[in-house]
Amino acid sequence: MTNHQAGHLSRRSLLGAAGITGAVAAAAGFGAGELVEPKAPTALTTVGGDAVPFHGTHQAGIVEPMQSVLHTAAFDLTPGTGRPGLTALMKRWSVVVAALTQGQPAPGAREDHVATDAGPNSLTVTFGFGASVFAKAGLQARLPEALAPLPAFPEDQLDRARSDGDLWVQVCANDPLVAFHALRTLQREAAGKATVRWQMNGFSRSPGATAHPHTGRNLMGQIDGTNNPKPGDEDFAAKVFVPAAQAAPAWMANGSYVVFRRIRMLLDSWDRQSLTVQERVIGRHQASGAPLSGGTETTPVDLEKQNPDGSLAIPGDAHVRVAAPASNQGAAMLRRGYSYHDGFRPDGAPDAGLLFIAFQADPLTGFVPVQRKLARGDALSRFVVHESSALFAVPGGAAEGGYVGQALLE
């Protein structure tokens, strides 16, 4: 039993006792609640103490379970930074992140105490390079073909100021102060070399929020992420990471490509649909996440299954049908999206949706064909608007004493 559960139980039993004595308490002139002893302070739990290694074959923040808080930002190099400045920045960012992810202060930086006592809280920081940085740093010869600009998809309403960028950072943690502190530290360390181009904030379920942990939900209420490739799958690495042996360019060995899309949900319109319509749009039951073809959340989707009247159990334009690898020559990606809410728009509608983040070995055989198909025939597209877009090369992880991007920059 965790400290939290113990606290909860003792409070519940105390409340039970208070129920019995409530009448006596009221008669004595104070509420029954006041008889409840304050909960004992909870020590730093395993949530706060959890640390994810920074060094490794792959960067952290890709295969790890999602944390509850996301900050993601793109930086542009300041004029004149060039390759030496970029190299110095990646070295410095790596040193700082290696420390912060282990709950240590950033070496050589003034301690601001924003995250003091908070523990590492599963902090991960993932770095990427956008196509635009290669010319600025004199690295055109090392630009991966896979970083070719994403095509324009029908119905895209992209804000270019909140798209693309030279460098990408994804900061994830199970504590908002830890996440903010990491992002702010990265920004400070970039002074004179790079400035923030855009920044967005996302959230997911808190660790321990449910006694039956399952795949998280998005702001439409759906369980989202069920049919993601799983780290235990035989072909997981081939789908998500650039194989070291055949990496082209070689510096992308063990790296990945991340597609970022800010996708606003038209929640007022969504809320006006019946549950039946909502479930047919996705092809899964809302409460359980089970496919409309039957079973439980984890039952494989049966795209052939028919209803007694001969109609398809999973409609022809259902999101899971159109997005499925089976409908896209096996195209797959690891989705690690976060919800966002940026208040309300002038018309009163929530400015909210999904910060879609998907890692794959090659976007040209991952995201691009799937999004092409979704943009043409996905029932969900009536309820979403793609507002920002970016593609970044995410190099492999740093070795002890090394830094992210070393193979590119040296």
Determine which one of 50, 164, 224, 378 is catalytic.
224
Q: Is 218 in the site for ligand L6N33NVT (CB under 6 A)?
A: yes
- CB 159 → ligand L6N33NVT: shortest distance, Å? 16
Please state whether 135 falls in left (phi above 0), alpha (psi between -120 and 50) or beta.
alpha
Span near ligand L6N33NVT by CB under 6 A; candidates 11-19, 36-44, 158-166, 364-372:
364-372
224 flagged as catalytic: yes
Q: Is 222 in the site for ligand L6N33NVT (CB under 6 A)?
A: yes
Closest residue (Cβ) to ligand L6N33NVT?
227
- CB 304 → ligand L6N33NVT: shortest distance, Å? 14
- Among residue numbers 369 through 388, which ones bind ligand L6N33NVT (CB under 6 A)? 370-371, 374, 380, 384
Span near ligand L6N33NVT by CB under 6 A; candidates 23-31, 95-103, 196-204, 348-356:
348-356
47 vs 401: CA distance, rounded Å: 27
- CB 105 → ligand L6N33NVT: shortest distance, Å? 38
Candidates 85, 119, 249, 353; binder of ligand L6N33NVT (CB under 6 A) is: 353
Q: Is 97 in the site for ligand L6N33NVT (CB under 6 A)?
A: no
Closer CB to ligand L6N33NVT, 371 or 406, in the complex: 371
Span near ligand L6N33NVT by CB under 6 A; candidates 81-89, 126-134, 159-167, 257-265:
257-265
- Among residue numbers 309 through 328, which ones bind ligand L6N33NVT (CB under 6 A)? 319-320, 323-325
Positive or negative CA dihedral for 108, 113, 114, 116? positive
Span near ligand L6N33NVT by CB under 6 A; candidates 14-22, 140-148, 150-158, 224-232:
224-232
Closer CB to ligand L6N33NVT, 75 or 356, in the complex: 356
Where do contacts with ligand L6N33NVT occur on this chain (CB under 6 A)? Answer: 218, 220, 222, 224-227, 261, 263, 265, 282, 284, 301, 319-320, 323-325, 353-354, 356, 367, 370-371, 374, 380, 384
Active site residues: 224
